[in-house]
């Protein structure tokens, strides 16, 4: 039985490339545990639609872990408008400005 998937990401080649590893644990009948490492295999195809067996699927929790690891490596969404911390700081600043403006 395969247990929870761990996803690791790190910057390599002086920050020019990203290395991603997927590691899962398998509990053996004798009680031992072994690690299973995922890999990507390239296949040639002329089809536009990807067949189910060639696609890796993951749970939403595992996908969140991947996003968190990518964030830790400094990657941000292209369409993102800043981090939650930046947004929070902006909201506090606007609240202060409203107090100043409406108290005068």
Percentages helix, strand, coil for the chain, rounded to the nearest 5?
35, 25, 40
Give me the residues of the chain with pLDDT under 50, please: 1
Domain ranges in the chain are: 2-43+56-103
pLDDT at position 25? 81
pLDDT at position 80? 64
Q: Which of 6, 7, 3, 5 is nearest to 27 (CA)?
A: 3
- Put simply, whether the predicted model's pTM sits higher than 0.85 gets the answer no
pLDDT at position 1? 46
């Amino acid at each position: 039985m395969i247990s929870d998937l761990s996803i690791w990401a790190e910057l390599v080649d002086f920050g020019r490339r990203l290395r991603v590893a997927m590691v899962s644990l398998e509990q053996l009948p004798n009680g031992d545990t072994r690690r299973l490492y995922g890999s990507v295999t390239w296949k040639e195809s002329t089809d536009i639609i990807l067949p189910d067996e060639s696609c890796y699927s993951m749970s939403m929790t595992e996908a969140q872990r991947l996003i968190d690891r990518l964030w830790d490596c400094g990657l941000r969404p292209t369409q993102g408008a800043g981090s939650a911390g930046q947004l929070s700081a902006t909201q506090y600043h606007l609240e202060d400005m409203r107090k100043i403006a409406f108290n005068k």
